[in-house]
Structure 1
């Protein structure tokens, strides 16, 4: 397999992992809300919104930690193509 195809498969797997982490964190927050918050309280919607933001932020943080760890452990820099390549310096000639 080429580096570009390895990069595509890695990004697809990493995206699925990120979504799974987000769902797990949201379910954990939802369980904590149902266990500790009063269901008749007007703050339940605030807690749900906060848990949504925590799950998004936590998933991005855990995703970055896992990807950095995998990059070091499996030496992914040699196996994956760079996502952002450097542009060639094409300057216009000024007359």
Structure 2
């Protein structure tokens, strides 16, 4: 019985709190301040493992992801050099965050 009284009291207090406009003022103040982060502002932090084997696997996986996104590797040695340089630059860019 006591649990029911406590529950009903909480429901009544929540109703009064919501209908008094306190929540709408809190939300409108936050919207005016623009404190909310947009998904474009939130960048996941890249954490490279400290263990040498895990680091090697992590970097290999990252390189494989990048190579899957760009054109296939060239056969010509000169073009292969530019390909490797572009992949290395993309790895550095992603690790820099």
Q: Structure 1 length normalisation: TM-score?
A: 0.33
Bigger radius of gyration: 2
- Larger RCO: Structure 1 or Structure 2 (Cα < 8 Å, ≥ 6 residues apart)? 1
